Amino acid sequence: MISKEVSKSPKETRDIARRFAGEVKAGDVICLSGELGAGKTHFVQGFMQGMGTSGEEVTSPTFTIINEYSGKFPVYHFDCYRLKQYEEALEIGAEEYLFGSGICIIEWPEKIEPILPDSCKRIEISVTDSETREITFF
């Protein structure tokens, strides 16, 4: 079932993500799509707040590819933007995370689509204007 929410600020994006975090379980893989500057990192910050942390530990793992956070469940935050081929994700052990007992949140999931499980939860953040975002849950 597809659902949509509208965010008019980074705080609202974090609030939406915090509520969404209550719906996930260990082993879930969440694909988070959106253009640069859409608010994906704000979403992950709110998600981590929903996992029982401050969310302040969240930074975009653009150069490290994966950040690990502790919360209600281990959360693995991927940023695949810099990957040229999905095989690069395999080289760093992505499958262990994707099919493990933690929760994976993946920015730029299209870069590693061939190795993603079919059961991924998908979220797209679309920029409507300078402040407004439409967040679609698939």
- Name the residue ranges covered by the structural domains of the chain: 3-137
Mean pLDDT of 97-122: 97
pLDDT band at 34 (very low <50, low <70, confident <90, very high): very high
Query: According to the model, what pLDDT value does residue 1 have?
Result: 84
Query: According to the model, what pLDDT value does residue 131 have?
Result: 94
Residue 84 CA to residue 7 CA, distance in Å, equals 31
Distances from the Cα of 74 to the Cα of 7, 33, 34, 36, 123, angstroms? 27, 21, 24, 26, 20
pTM: 0.94
Residue 75 CA to residue 136 CA, distance in Å, equals 21
What topology is assigned to 3-137 in CATH? Rossmann fold (3.40.50)
Burial of 10 (0-12, 13-18, 19+ CB in 10 A): middle
Considering only residues 122 and 61, tell me which one the structure prediction assigns the higher pLDDT: 122
